[in-house]
């Protein structure tokens, strides 16, 4: 049946796209400690779906000959492929064939044009509580996944020990579900004219998979040392304060009673003050501005607590056997489309770390011998994008002049210190009202109103653009980014429409520039590659002797945004520590 594996020539001519799914021994396929066991392909023939599971590396035997793999590779290169969560699993699963006993046999999903229902669902409705296959199928198709019969096997013996005939019942059905879900979602994508963006999305899926598989080396000695310093510092602070800032039951009375701060949020169930992570971030902003010794001790404790647990210990516990960290990047992790990261959450690395607990956090990463880690970081990306919508010529001129500092100029107008000006700018960008401003700066509501009025009068374009964004969002039910991508309202507060426009628009810039930079670096092969994306920065690992050649070209690519009038800027510098 050359070359279509299980499709006849007549069937192949009628097939427009293929459902595709892979099975592996576990979930650590990025570092290839887990391996592919088999794969499924599904297609539609008239009203019917035909699917087939191909077992290749089951421990139980009854595997198909690996000579079929090149034929499957040819098939997926000839038809668009629908695969759910390709960036997290399937591309890496396919790559493990290279490290098996197959010799020159290769299975490469990057050579296919990919549709991913997980990302499609996110494009259609960012407010969905889950993008997992089973949840989406139940929500949109009214059907669940078939796995009961193999659950006993997987729980007790592992995925690679499931007999192939049992695995087929589950795996082949998944490939069909991928196809059905895409058929449901794609018309909605087309209806919103988002289909023109998909070529970029699927290329970004492949790039993120490559970055995750590549990973970045971790300085394990440094992480252990910083963890020990953090634990010791926290113990000392607890002794000084007489309470633990990690316990809401002890921290709450200090914030509310001793410092006299207001209750920012109450539990809907109990009516008691809430100290969840979002509320605590607001309290920490207030403590930062207060500046008294006790407040600073609380900040230091919580700073070490978060940095040790979220960064240093997370890096050590999530480390791959080869000493590199391979986090999960999620295209569907935020409602604004900004990239998120988990296992570990590397977005916790501060952009500007000048505190004892985070000032050296980037030293947790190290380059390979003979290489340098270079970070390319957009300077005030969202604020510069804001100029395109506000047409504030004064701000545009300040951004265009490298000798001028925009926050210093705003601070002068507001009669505030530069640091507090930045706090004000970002707080109001995230929807802070007069009460929050007054609490943050420890001033009266009248003074907060004066600060806000001065800012609006000084830069009326920002206020007007924000009001227009909210008005249009309420009329349409969404805001549209500069690329045409939409941020749908749902239960979203329209007062935050303008901020979403900035966050999402900035994310679209970074996405496209990552693809351009990757394309530029491709001829260098292993000598220059993207290894991380953190906030608005791109981290690369470059061979030392190539740094002078590559760095200026990457910066040129990133600031080349002719569709905007505002000048964009990128800072570049080495990051990471040394062994």
> Which residues in the chain are classed under CATH 1.20.1060.10?
217-333
Residue 435 has a pLDDT of 82
Among the listed ranges 288-292, 447-451, 537-541, 551-555, which one has the minimum average pLDDT value? 288-292
Q: What is the dihedral of CA 311, 317, 320, 322, to 10 degrees?
A: 90
Q: Phi/psi of residue 417, each to 5°?
A: -60, 155
Domain 217-333 class in CATH: mainly alpha
Q: How far is CA 97 from CA 60, 109, 133, in A?
A: 18, 11, 25
Give me the mean pLDDT over the 209-215 stretch: 95
Share of the chain above pLDDT 70, in %: 93
Return phi, psi of residue 378, to 5°.
-65, 135
Q: State the pTM of this model.
A: 0.92
What are the strands of the beta sheet with 371-378, ordered from one edge? Answer: 528-534, 537-543, 371-378, 570-575
Highest mean pLDDT out of 98-102, 239-243, 344-348, 487-491: 239-243
The two structure tokens encoding residue 317: 């516990």
The topology under which CATH files domain 9-214 is Nucleotidyltransferase; domain 5 (3.30.420)
d(CA 180, CA 82): 9
For residues 566 and 386, what is the distance between their CA atoms, to the nearest angstrom?
9
Banded model confidence at residue 7, pLDDT cuts 50, 70, 90: low
Q: Which of 163, 278, 296, 180 has its CA nearest to residue 241?
A: 296
- Cα angle: 423, vertex 427, 430; to 5 degrees: 150
- Cite the residue boundaries of each domain of the chain with CATH code 3.30.420.10: 9-214
CA distance 164 to 525: 38
Distance CA 261, CA 276 (A): 16
382-505, CATH topology level = DNA polymerase; domain 1 (1.10.150)
Q: And the tokens for 377?
A: 């970081």
Dihedral angle at the C-alpha atoms of 504, 510, 513, 519, nearest 10 degrees? -110
- Of the candidates 278, 81, 263, 221, the residue with the CA atom closest to the CA atom of residue 577: 221
Place of tokens 């699993």: 89
Lowest pLDDT segment from 106-120, 199-213, 397-411: 397-411
């Amino acid at each position: 049946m050359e070359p279509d594996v299980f499709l006849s020539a007549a069937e192949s001519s009628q097939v427009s796209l293929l459902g595709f799914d892979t099975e592996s021994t576990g979930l650590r396929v990025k570092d290839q400690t887990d391996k592919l066991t088999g794969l499924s392909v599904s297609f539609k023939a008239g009203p019917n779906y035909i699917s087939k599971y191909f077992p290749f590396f089951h421990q139980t035997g009854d595997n198909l000959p690996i000579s079929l793999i090149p034929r499957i590779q040819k098939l997926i290169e000839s038809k668009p492929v629908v695969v759910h969560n390709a960036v997290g699993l399937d591309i890496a699963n396919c790559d493990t064939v290279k490290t098996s006993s197959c010799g020159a046999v290769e299975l490469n999903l990057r050579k296919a044009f990919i549709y991913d229902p997980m990302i499609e669902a996110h494009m259609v409705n960012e407010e969905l509580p889950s993008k997992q296959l089973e949840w989406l199928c139940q929500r949109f198709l009214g059907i669940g996944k078939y796995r009961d019969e193999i659950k006993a096997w997987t729980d007790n013996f592992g995925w690679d020990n499931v007999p192939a005939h049992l695995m087929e019942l589950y795996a082949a059905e998944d490939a069909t579900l991928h196809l059905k879900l895409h058929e449901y979602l794609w018309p909605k994508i087309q209806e919103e004219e988002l289909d023109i963006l998909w070529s970029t999305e699927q290329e970004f899926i492949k790039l993120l998979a490559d970055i995750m598989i590549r990973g970045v080396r971790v300085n394990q000695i440094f992480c252990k040392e910083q963890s020990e310093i953090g634990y010791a510092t926290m113990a000392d602070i607890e002794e000084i304060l007489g309470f633990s800032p990690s316990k809401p039951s002890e921290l709450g009375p200090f914030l509310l009673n001793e410092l006299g701060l207001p209750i920012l949020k109450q539990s809907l169930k109990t009516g008691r003050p809430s100290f969840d992570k979002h509320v605590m971030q607001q309290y920490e902003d207030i403590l930062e501005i207060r500046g008294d010794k006790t407040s600073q001790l609380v900040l230091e404790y919580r700073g070490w607590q978060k940095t040790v647990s979220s960064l240093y210990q997370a890096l050590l516990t999530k480390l791959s056997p080869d000493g590199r960290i391979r986090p999960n990047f999620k295209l569907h992790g935020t409602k604004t489309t900004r990239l998120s990261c988990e296992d570990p959450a590397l977005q916790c690395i501060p952009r500007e770390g000048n505190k004892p607990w985070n000032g050296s956090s980037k030293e947790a990463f190290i380059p390979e011998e003979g290489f340098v880690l270079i970070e390319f970081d957009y300077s005030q990306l969202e604020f510069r994008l804001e100029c395109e919508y506000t047409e504030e010529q004064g701000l545009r001129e300040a951004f265009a002049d490298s000798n001028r500092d925009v926050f210093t100029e705003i601070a002068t107008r507001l009669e505030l210190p530069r640091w507090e000006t930045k706090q004000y700018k970002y707080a109001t960008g995230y929807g802070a009202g007069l009460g929050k401003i007054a609490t943050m700066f420890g001033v009266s509501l009248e003074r907060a109103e004066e600060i806000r009025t001065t800012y609006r009068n000084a830069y009326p374009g920002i206020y007007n653009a924000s009001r227009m964004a909210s008005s249009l969002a309420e009329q349409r039910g969404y805001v549209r980014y500069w690329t045409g991508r939409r941020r749908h309202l749902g239960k979203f507060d329209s007062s935050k429409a303008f901020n979403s426009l900035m966050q999402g628009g900035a994310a679209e810039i970074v996405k496209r520039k990552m693809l351009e930079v990757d394309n530029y670096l491709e001829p260098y092969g292993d000598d220059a590659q993207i290894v991380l994306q953190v906030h608005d920065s791109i981290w690369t690992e470059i061979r030392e002797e190539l740094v002078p050649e590559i760095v200026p070209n990457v910066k040129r690519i990133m600031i080349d945004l002719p569709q905007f009038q505002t000048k964009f800027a990128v800072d570049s510098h080495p990051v990471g520590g040394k062994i």
